[in-house]
Structure 1
Amino acid sequence: MNHLASALLKQQQIVTKLLAGIVAGLCFMPAIALADDDKAPSSGRSSGGRGCGSNTRPAANVPALILITPNGQSGKTVSPRPTFAWFVRDAAPVPLEFRLYEQDGDRFVLVQAIKDKRLRSAPGIMVLSANDGLPELTVGKRYRWQVELVCNPSRPSSNLFAEATIEVVPLQAGLKTQLARSRDHLDRAKLYAQANLWYDVLKTAFTPVRSTTRLQALRLSVLDQVALDPTERQLLKASSIHPIQR
């Protein structure tokens, strides 16, 4: 009986040591990051009012990152090469990353990620043309796009994210005819707006061209639909435009 009790005691000691080793090992394992497309809120805005390197919230709690989307909702386009734009609140430049996902069933699969040492945030509205390193999108497909402000490369959990969805739809015959009759790109933007094609209006509003009163009015109209309150509206409308050069 004493021999059996001794054997059981030794076995218990071995199990205790193994468990202690496992727990100690877990303490030194790096944190497991969530999939990139699970980090961002679906509102098209970064969470709260925190910015990179700041633990305090600025007045009015304006997000540090706002995607130029219709109040964070999904938008449509007939262009396989749309334009993407977002607002950056803070002046201090930080590395920036852009990702594009394609919907595959009930999940989104990464199509393209842009990580470039030269790609850094700038205060105001940053504009990325799909010609700059992004693949042509497919008609009938739904995509998710995401912007990340890299606050601390060694601590991903401190980075700021925002994301939105975009759907590429067929160009209807009636609209195609109307667009063909119009030579003025601002008149075409009105046709896109009537057809609820957000990203086509956005592309017209923020394509680098000579600024005119009509173009400025179009941009303000777009930003009006993005802002959630007067403070956001004021910041967005006063923003400089920064086309991304890659």
Structure 2
Amino acid sequence: MIAPALGFSGDRPSLTAPIVVNPMDGAIAPTPIEFQIAQQLNFNVDNVRPSRGRAGGFSRGNACFENAMEALSPVALVPLDTSTDFARLRVETTVDAQPTFYVFLPEMDKSPEFAELLIFEQSEDNMEAIVHSQTLPLPQVVGAGSIPINIADDFALEMGITYRWTVEVLCSLEDRSSNVFAEGWVERVEPSDGLSAMLAQSEPELYPELYATAGHWYDALEALATLRQRNPNNPTLQNDWAGLLSSVNLGDIANYPLLNPVLNPVFPIPERPTSYNVDATPTVGG
């Protein structure tokens, strides 16, 4: 059995406060390889933060899956902790003010044209406020795949703030509760001096390994996705992608294709509240 080309690993202790990732402070020495990355990432996590009311980072309604309830569900491409009864989401880091999120969309009974991206910030009084929203056209293709979600130019993550993001597939505008959505957590951090130095002197083929070694999930995933989009028929990159997703418990969707990016058109959607009481959300696994 061939080891995953690129992987995330590490301890996942008690489910308590938001996790704190300790990115590497020193220099990173790239391995002398063309691109087949053979090492497993030692991803250090102090704590684990559960997904708010969602097991495995998704919610599945009936509007999109009227006749295919046994099919795969939409899911955010973020590491899952499966060491407990219900899969939990961790707060993953990025060094990018506008990271790209990735969501796997299965083949659905309906062909929705749009999705909605929401980004939430949690306040000290346990309320979540929407700090960004945008409507996205979905690629009109047959079959399942993972899509990149690019944040619009008018919003940027602030340093050191933990955000929750959701992507809702708008199969129904009349009954939003019957739609499906995926979610993840993200925090923007400063890159270490060592990481910045190595990125400046390395070729893009090494970016996924550098980001992964530093513990920045979103940046490692985006760097590898960019290489795959430029070289869609490269079997080594396909293996690296499958290995990376499999190492974070996303093996079921690891071999599906990458779809084209979505843009941000003007599209009216029903008004929604601008803040939510976090305590009012369902419990994990509910």
TM-score (norm 2): 0.61
- Per the TM alignment, residue 110 of structure 1 is displaced from its structure 2 partner at its CA by 0.9
* Paired position in structure 1 for 2:44: none
- The 8 Å contact of residues 58 and 180 in structure 2, kept in 1 or not, is answered as no
Higher helix share: 1
Number of residue pairs matched? Answer: 198
Letter in 2 for 1:166: V
1:79 aligns with 2:96: yes
Pick from 197, 204, 211 the counterpart of residue 192 of structure 1.
211
Equivalent residue for 2:127, pick from 88, 91, 107 = 107
How far apart in 2 are the matches of 1:103 and 1:215? 37
AA aligned to 1:203 is E
Report deviation, 1:125. Answer: 0.6
Secondary structure of 1:164's aligned partner: strand
Report whether the alignment pairs 1:239 with 2:257.
Answer: yes
RMSD: 2.7
Matches of residues 154-165 of structure 1 in structure 2 within 5 Å? Answer: 154-165=174-185
Q: Give the Cα–Cα distance (whole angstroms) in 2 for the partners of residues 88 and 134 of structure 1.
A: 26
Instruction: Check conservation: 1:45, 1:66, Cα contact below 8 A.
Output: yes
Bigger Rg, which one: 1
Corresponding residue SS for 1:113? strand
- SS at structure 2 position matched to 1:93: coil
- Cα separation, partners in 2 of 1:97 and 1:121, compared to 1, 3 Å: farther
Q: AA paired with 1:168?
A: R
Structure 1: which 5+ residue stretches go unaligned?
1-37
Paired residue type of 2:255: K
Deviating 4+ runs (over 6 angstroms): none
Answer 1 or 2: higher relative contact order, Cα 8 Å, separation at least 6.
2
Find the residue that maps to 1:148 and give its secondary structure: strand
From the superposition, tell whether residues 203 and 160 of structure 1 become closer, same or farther in structure 2 (CA, over 3 Å).
Answer: same
Distance 1:187 1:136, change over 3 A: same
CA–CA separation in structure 1 for the residues paired with 2:247 and 2:63: 24
Does residue 1:67 correspond to 2:67, yes or no?
Answer: no
Give the letter aligned to residue 172 of structure 2. N
1:1-246 aligned at under 5 Å gives the runs 41=54, 43-47=56-60, 52-54=64-66, 57-58=69-70, 62-63=72-73, 65-71=74-80, 72-91=89-108, 92-94=110-112, 95-105=114-124, 106-116=126-136, 118-119=137-138, 123-130=144-151, 132-133=152-153, 135-182=155-202, 184-207=203-226, 208-211=229-232, 212-228=234-250, 233-246=251-264
TM-score after normalising by structure 1: 0.70
Unaligned residue ranges in structure 2 (runs of 5+): 1-50, 81-88, 265-286
